[in-house]
Amino acid sequence: MSFLSPTLRMENLSTQPIMSLDHVPEAQRYNKQNIMYRIELEHGTTSGRRMIWVNGREVLRRDWMFKLVGEDTFQIEESRCIIRVDPAPGFKYEYSLYIDGKPHAQYTEELTRKYRLWLCTCGTTEEYRIMLKLDTLSLYVNDELREEQAAFVNGGTDTTFMLQDTEFILQARSSGNKHDGIVHTLLVNGELVPEAKIQEIMQEQVSILQTT
């Protein structure tokens, strides 16, 4: 599950909503698929309105709030989330997110130890997000669990699968040292795809709209 940046200052954001997606998933409770979440916040500095949407669905609405700072709590699946609004210099505001009691930075750091992520575009239209969960070796493509079998090869394993007319090979090889353990790489039609930086992706801005 992924969320907004821990410290977003209003002066760094557009006056219009920014629609952007975070890409680090968490297994859903029932269908066991990965899902990504987009969080949007409206902070009315004069009207006192505060609204939160998750993937376009309204999850919280407060009107006529006289106190413009403080915390709002909402649920995403089984996770308890808090958006906190704090005063910042110059009559501005700073926004922070906590997931299950953890600051966003800590939550993100923990995710980087659990997943590997690759982003690739095939042709001009097909975009794929390949996720590997390290503890179970579960493979997800665009949030959908794939049932693929790894084949033993010299030095490790290869997991080969096709998407449209594109061949993907997820390789697992020993790094040769205890610190790095197993190294995973992804080949698409024989070309190496660089691993995406989860922490950088999770710092993408969400939509925060300041209204009067």
Per DSSP, the three-state class of 150 is strand
Distance CA 50, CA 209 (A): 10
Shared domain for 105 and 129, answered yes or no, is: no
* Boundaries of domain holding 127: 115-196
Assess if residue 2 is contained within a domain. no
Task: Please check whether residues 30 and 102 belong to one and the same domain.
Answer: yes
| Separation between Cα atoms, residue 124 and residue 164, nearest integer Å | 13
Residues 21 and 92 both lie in one domain: yes
Question: Are 78 and 49 within one domain?
Answer: yes
Q: What domain count does the chain have?
A: 2
Of 25-29, 75-79, 191-195, minimum mean pLDDT range:
25-29
pTM, to two decimals: 0.64
Better-predicted residue by pLDDT, 88 or 211: 88
Q: How do residues 3-25 score in pLDDT, each as one tens digit?
A: 333 333 323 333 333 333 332 33
Judge if 104 and 81 occupy the same domain: yes
What letter does residue 16 receive in the DSSP assignment? S
17 touches 209 (CB < 8 A) = yes
User: Residue 185's domain is classified under what CATH number?
Assistant: 2.40.128.180
The reported pLDDT for the residue numbered 90 is 84
Residue 180 has pLDDT above 80, yes or no: no
Q: Tell me the per-residue pLDDT of 83-134, one tens digit each, with 9 for 90 and over.
A: 998 998 988 888 888 888 988 788 878 888 888 999 998 876 788 989 999 9
Which positions ≥6 away from 71 have C-beta within 8 Å? 82, 83, 84, 85
Average confidence (pLDDT) over 157-174: 94
Residues 155 and 187 in one domain: yes
Q: What's the CA gap between 142 and 90, in Å, rounded?
A: 42
Query: 203 falls in which pLDDT band (50, 70, 90)?
Result: low
Q: What b/e readout covers 133-164, taking b as 16+ CB neighbours within 10 angstroms?
A: beeeebbbbeeebbeeeeeeeeeebebebebe
State whether 166 and 125 are in the same domain: yes
**DSSP secondary structure string, 58-91?**
EEEEE-S-S--SEEEEEEETTEEEEEEEEEETTT
SS3 content of the chain, % helix, strand, coil (to 5): 10, 50, 40
- For residues 97 and 128, state if they share a domain: no
In a domain? residue 86? yes
Question: What is the token pair recorded at 146?
Answer: 């794939």
Instruction: Phi first, then psi: give them for residue 204, nearest 5 degrees.
Output: -60, 145
Whether residue 89 is contained in a domain is answered as yes
pLDDT digit string (tens) for 20-75? Answer: 333 233 322 222 235 667 778 888 888 888 888 888 888 999 888 888 888 999 99
Angle at 190 (CA atoms; ends 172, 155), nearest 5 degrees: 25
Based on the domain organization, do 13 and 105 belong to the same domain?
A: yes
- Same domain (yes/no): 166, 131: yes
**Under a CB-based contact definition with an 8 Å cutoff, are residues 208 and 39 in contact?**
no
